[in-house]
């Protein structure tokens, strides 16, 4: 227990600017000579207030009710002071006031941590990532409304049961707008974002116990779709009469031969194209997601597409190299492009990045460390996700190994024959 502290509560009034005959009632909390004041949202007349007693004069039902309310406030403030003393060595007038009003750490809500996270992370997270947190917040809001019949809950009310119920809600939720329900990995992403916000609340000391302690994320491994060498050639050889589809094809192929993500390619300008020491065009940019620098020479096929669109740059007012549509529209058109090119895979714009990592680079013997640099990854382990070695590459490598071993056998046999003849 801490050393004794002086504590007092005083009720006083202030005149209202709008009516000089009316008084507004306040409570003043004093701890060790330092004060904190708060309005009690109650009014009385000048004639009714007894400043020496800090109460109202009279016996009318209204006055009795108001005096009873002041007694309750006084009692609750004493209980609040005792509660703080039992838990903490430090007690201040502001802390007593905050605790009484439910503004202290113990009374922080789910909405508080969501708002704090999204506000403080605005300058840290990229817009696309922050947008996903806003989507998770919408799910939480709907969950509280439909399942808990409330608009908010205290952080300390979040437990294992809350988390599993929220998981089931996200899995089965059908929005008013026509769209698919969340799959397993989409659901896990929402839980992952909630977990990160809860961890932030723990760091801020708004929450003591971690409700995710016994909860395990269950991500399913999905096959990452990419184009094979044959499919890439099919796409290149398909010509579209539709200018928009031909443009989408070109932009997708450029991503296949550079490894640029949708966001990075969309922001590409003439300033990002520089001449390298080899006299070739290089891309010099920073990854939108990680802010990691990417500097790489353009492959011939990518350079050819680039020159085609640099000639049309005068048509674009924003100085961007490619007229990139929204990600949603790009994926819609890519679906049409693949169908026309006889590619029977579910390909999205991000598949171009996988194609670059597998078919274009790793399968052609480019070391994974180089691929990691070209992709702008901060960790090699991230690149290993893309390191899908194709069957024909395995076959080629094993054939090369077979040839090396055969040559060694031939050399050994030749050496033995030479020794035997001598």
Angle between helices 127-146 and 110-120 (to 10 degrees): 170
Asked if the structure places residue 417 within a domain, the reply is no
Residues 238 and 352 in one domain: yes
Asked if the structure places residue 64 within a domain, the reply is yes
Asked if the structure places residue 410 within a domain, the reply is no
- Domain boundary, last residue among 57, 81, 104: 104
Rounded Cα distance, 364 and 290, in Å = 27
Residues 373 and 235 in one domain: yes
Q: What is the pLDDT of residue 3?
A: 56
Residues 327 and 279 in one domain: yes
Rounded Cα distance, 292 and 379, in Å = 11
Q: What is the pLDDT of residue 361?
A: 92
Q: What is the pLDDT of residue 128?
A: 77
Q: What is the pTM of this model?
A: 0.59
Q: Which two tokens stand for residue 397?
A: 């490598």
| CATH number of the domain residue 347 falls in | 1.10.443.10
Overall domain count for the chain: 3
What parts of the chain have a pLDDT lower than 50? 1-2, 314
Residues 16 and 121 in one domain: no
Cβ-based neighbours of 45, under 8 Å, separated by 6 or more: 21, 22, 23
The residue behind tokens 């708004």 is: 206
Residues 192 and 243 in one domain: no
Q: What is the pLDDT of residue 410?
A: 86
Buried b (16+ CB within 10 A) or exposed e, 233-262: ebbeebebeeeebebbbbbbbbbbbbbbbb
Asked if the structure places residue 356 within a domain, the reply is yes
Residues 324 and 241 in one domain: yes
Asked if the structure places residue 301 within a domain, the reply is yes
Rounded Cα distance, 72 and 333, in Å = 67
Q: Which two tokens stand for residue 150?
A: 């409330």
Q: Which two tokens stand for residue 38?
A: 């708060």
Residues 181 and 90 in one domain: no
- Domain boundary, last residue among 104, 127, 151: 104
Containing domain of residue 374, as a range? 229-389
Residues 353 and 239 in one domain: yes
Asked if the structure places residue 91 within a domain, the reply is yes
Residues 234 and 379 in one domain: yes
Asked if the structure places residue 411 within a domain, the reply is no
Residues 350 and 383 in one domain: yes
Catalogue the long-range contacts made by 182-186 (C-beta closer than 8 Å, 24 or more residues apart).
184/218, 184/219, 184/220, 185/219, 185/220, 185/222
Asked if the structure places residue 285 within a domain, the reply is yes
Residues 159 and 267 in one domain: no
- Domain boundary, last residue among 150, 169, 203: 203
284 has which bridge partners?
A: 295
Buried b (16+ CB within 10 A) or exposed e, 335-356: eebbebbebeeebbbbbbbbbb
Residues 39 and 90 in one domain: yes
């Amino acid at each position: 227990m801490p050393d004794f502290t002086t504590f007092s509560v005083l009720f006083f009034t202030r005149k209202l600017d709008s009516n000089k005959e009316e008084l507004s009632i306040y409570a003043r909390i004093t701890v060790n000579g330092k004060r904190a004041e708060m309005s009690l949202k109650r009014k009385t007349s000048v004639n009714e207030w007894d400043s020496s007693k800090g109460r109202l004069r009279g016996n009318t039902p209204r006055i009795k009710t108001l005096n009873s309310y002041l007694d309750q406030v006084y009692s609750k403030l004493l209980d609040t002071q005792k509660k703080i003393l039992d838990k903490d060595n430090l007690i201040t007038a502001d802390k007593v006031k905050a605790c009484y009003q439910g503004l202290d750490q113990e009374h922080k809500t789910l909405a508080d941590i969501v708002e704090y996270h999204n506000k403080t992370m605005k300058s840290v997270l990229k817009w696309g990532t922050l947008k996903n947190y806003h989507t998770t917040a919408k799910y939480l809001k709907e969950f509280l409304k439909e399942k808990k019949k409330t608009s908010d809950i205290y952080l300390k009310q979040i437990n294992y049961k809350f988390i599993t119920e929220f998981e089931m809600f996200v899995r089965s939720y059908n929005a008013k707008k026509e769209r698919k329900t969340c799959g397993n990995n989409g659901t896990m992403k929402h839980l992952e974002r909630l977990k990160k916000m809860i961890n932030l609340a723990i760091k801020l000391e708004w929450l003591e116990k971690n409700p995710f302690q016994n909860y395990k994320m269950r991500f399913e491994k999905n096959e990452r779709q990419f184009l094979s060498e044959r499919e890439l050639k099919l796409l290149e050889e398909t010509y579209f009469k539709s200018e928009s589809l031909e443009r989408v094809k070109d932009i997708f192929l450029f991503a296949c031969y550079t490894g640029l993500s949708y966001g990075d390619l969309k922001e590409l300008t003439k300033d990002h194209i520089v001449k390298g020491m080899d006299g070739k065009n290089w891309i010099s940019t920073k990854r939108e997601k990680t802010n990691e620098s990417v500097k790489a020479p353009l492959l011939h096929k990518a350079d050819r597409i680039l020159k085609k669109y640099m000639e049309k740059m005068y048509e674009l007012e924003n100085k961007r190299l490619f007229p990139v549509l929204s990600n949603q529209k790009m994926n819609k058109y890519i679906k049409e492009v693949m169908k026309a090119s006889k590619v029977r895979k579910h390909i999205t714009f991000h598949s171009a990045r996988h194609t670059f990592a597998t078919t274009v680079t790793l399968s052609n013997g480019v070391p994974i460390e180089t691929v990691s640099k070209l992709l702008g990854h901060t960790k090699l382990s991230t690149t290993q996700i893309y390191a899908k070695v194709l069957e024909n590459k395995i076959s080629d490598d094993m054939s090369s190994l077979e040839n090396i071993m055969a040559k060694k056998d031939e050399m050994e046999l030749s050496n033995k024959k030479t020794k035997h003849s001598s």
